[in-house]
Structure 1
Amino acid sequence: MNLTGGIVLYAVLWFLTLFILLPIGLISQDEAGEVVPGTHGGAPHNPELGRKALWATVISAVLWVGCAYLILGGAITQEDVIGWDRLIR
């Protein structure tokens, strides 16, 4: 894994983690009882994006370290990945 591959892997993991975290703990405006005029009642009351982005950063960093260890440590090689297509044939 080179520098570019590491950055791309981290970015993909970060966005996947963020999209998983977004609906967790979400309270709609209807549930909070404060619907802002012009918005849908199902819109989030307080999405706490900063806190979720921080958690996404921490979780994706841990996942990235695990993936980098597997790739750079030689547990998974390019030959292994190339051979995976034999599993579905």
Structure 2
Amino acid sequence: MGIASAIVLYMVLWFLTFLIVIPIRIQTQGDLNKIVPGTHAGSPEHHNLKKKAVITTAVAAALWGIIGGGIIMGVVSVRDIDMFDRMGPGGSMWYSESNKE
């Protein structure tokens, strides 16, 4: 796995984790009975985004280590997701096409 793919993997994991962590323990205006006129009762009053970003960073780093380690050690490869055998038996994805008789 190259540097660029490792960074992209971490960024995808970070954003997916962040979208999961955002709604956890949120306090809305309706929950606190402090509804500002002109806003929805479901609008957040206390969102704690800084704390959630730190938690997201830690969880994403752990997931990145597990998934990245599995890719580097060869537990998962591109050939594992080749459901239609388009890559062929050789090292190149055009192996079967180049050896036609």
Question: TM-score higher than 0.5 here?
Answer: yes
Q: Which position in structure 2 is the counterpart of 1:36?
A: 36
Give the Cα separation in 1 of the matches to 2:76 and 2:42.
44
RMSD: 1.3
Q: Which position in structure 2 is the counterpart of 1:51?
A: 51
Matches of residues 8-87 of structure 1 in structure 2 within 5 Å? Answer: 8-82=8-82, 84-85=83-84
- The Cα shift of 1:38 comes to 2.8
SS at match of 2:14: helix
Give the TM-score normalised by the residue count of structure 1: 0.87
Give the TM-score normalised by the residue count of structure 2: 0.78
Give the Cα separation in 1 of the matches to 2:8 and 2:47.
26
SS at match of 2:44: coil
After superposition, the C-alpha distances for 1:19-69 in whole angstroms (9 at most, x for unaligned) are 001111011101112122332111011010000011000000000000111
SS at match of 1:24: coil
Gaps of 5+ in 1: none
Q: Which letter maps to 2:69? A: Y
Q: Which letter maps to 1:72? A: I
Pick the structure with greater CA Rg.
2
How many positions carry a matched residue from both structures? 85
Normalized per residue, which structure has more strand?
2
The runs of at least 4 aligned residues of structure 1 exceeding 6 Å deviation read: none
